[in-house]
Amino acid sequence: MNHMNKSTEYWQGLDRAHHLHPFTDAKSLNEKGVRVMTKADGVYLWDSEGNRVLDGMAGLWCVNLGYGRKELVDAAQRQMLELPFYNTFFQTSNIPATELAGLLAEVAPAGMKHAFFANSGSEAVDTAIRMVRRYWQAEGLPERNVIISRNNAYHGSSVAGACLGGMGAMHEQSGLMMPGFEHIMQPYWYQDGGDLSPEEFGLVAARALEERILAVGPEKVAAFIGEPIQGAGGVIVPPDSYWPEIQRICNQYGILLIADEVICGFGRTGNWFGSQTFGFTPDLMTMAKGMSSGYMPISAVMVGERVANTLIEKSGEFYHGYTYSGHPVAAAVAIENIRILKEERIIERVAEDTGPYFQEKLQIFAEHPLVGEVVGRGLVAGMVLVKDKKTRELYENGSDVGTMCRNHCFSNGLIMRACGDRMVLSPPLIISRAEIDEMLDKAKYCLDLAAKDLG
Ligand code: PLP
């Protein structure tokens, strides 16, 4: 398998001939040819042309421990030799799945003691949808089945996840929207806040939930779901007033609160979970990505007492699960990942050292002519590209401007993602201060190039 001897053109040709990529315009990709990544170490990746790139996105917001962690590889290998697979259906378990459930109960907020396993964030979200509906059925209120989400939210790519999320482009391609999902405004102050202070606007955006609950009828609403910080939406950090008000409204109407922690979970914001950073207590949490630092596909729904008690005591058999729910190899890697996060105090480092350092240094972009707001928490940040800083006017072709910046980054050794007109960074949590300096210097250089292009 001496694949490294083959040329980039060989891999590009094979890819063009046979590989359909996620979230990619195949035609335009075919014109350029795919960039082939071949190896990685720490925060760096190398492509098939030998170029070194700093991965400012931790893969897809997931490689939190960075690349090349041998302990994770060893954990997988040990488990593959011991028991490569056994399922967790029909009254069986395996030791890693059980141990991981116990560990998650330790690191999750108080009261969240049960885990349901799946393989991806999308599957965790689907599980949460089915679980809250099953909860209300078992409580004798099956008409409570509407789930409220937000515009520009991302909750995965399954049929239900695409409908539940608030991505307009995904809705357009979904054909018929599934019933039972509602969307309210997002807490995006820079775009929609007008003359309100961020804190005033946070309350307005949260109260849109109450208005929608009343419009739908509280007796029909099952749950509200939100990412503590919207990730794929462009790292939209809500004002501090937002989440406590959402919590108050959910409590008042007795509806379940789901935190989609697929990006924020496992240290990204400087706490184990984003809900802790924003001071709210969800009934369910979906998690994936950082759970295994992306070394193995694994996800979970953490379930609080209210829902767990009903599922255990009143539901009977819950007809839901995946062949690989609680896969022993993926679970063994997740256990090792959590051990390293704890032993190396990585989340504390994000909270006390690298997170504040990153957020402070990012402020150099506040002065940049192309950049409006610069926001973030811990080791995640987003900045909006603006036409006019004073009036907060956005570009009409904002995603083209984003793509232009992203392409400059790509050609200059940095992976920085463009989410429409927002540029985002979410590096591995093990990034050092010197690597943060390098990442931000490169980002600045590339935004300068884009500003020049735009004249
Ligand atoms: N939920 C959130 C908040 C996400 O950011 C993502 C992926 O980026 C998902 C769900 C879907 O996860 P996956 O791509 O693993 O299915």
Ligand 1 pocket (Cβ < 6 Å) reads 120-122, 125, 154-157, 227, 231-232, 260, 262-263, 288
Atom of ligand 1 nearest to the CA of 125: 10
362-371 residue pLDDT tens? 999 999 999 9
Instruction: Assign 312 a pLDDT band (cuts: 50, 70, 90).
Output: very high
d(CA 34, CA 11): 8
Q: Above 80 in pLDDT, residue 3?
A: no
Closest atom of ligand 1 to 299 CA is 15
How far apart are alpha carbons 293 and 290 in whole angstroms?
A: 4
User: How far is 294 from 280, CA to CA, in rounded Å?
Assistant: 26
Say yes or no to pLDDT of 29 above 90: no
Q: What average pLDDT does range 147-155 have in this prediction?
A: 98
The predicted structure's pLDDT at residue 5:
84
For the entire predicted model, the pTM comes to 0.98
User: Rounded to whole angstroms, how far apart are CA atoms 348 and 262?
Assistant: 20
> Ligand 1 mean position to 156 CA, how many Å?
5
Best residue among 129, 262, 275 to mutate for probing ligand 1, ranked by most atoms within 8 Å of CB: 262
pLDDT at position 1 is 45
User: Length of the chain in residues, anyone?
Assistant: 455
Tell me the pLDDT tens digit for each residue of 177-232.
999 999 999 999 999 999 999 999 999 999 999 999 999 999 999 999 999 999 99
User: Which helix (H) or strand (E) covers residue 286, if one does?
Assistant: strand 284-287
Distance 399 CA to ligand 1 centre (A): 21
Strands of the sheet with 181-184, listed across from one edge:
112-118, 299-304, 284-287, 256-260, 221-226, 146-150, 181-184
ipTM of the complex as predicted: 0.99
Sheet holding 44-47, edge to edge: 37-41, 44-47, 52-55, 414-415
**Residue range 42-47: mean pLDDT, rounded:** 98
The single-letter code of the amino acid at 206 is A
- The answer on pLDDT for 4 being more than 90 is no
CA-297 nearest atom, ligand 1: 15
154 CA to centre of ligand 1 in angstroms: 7
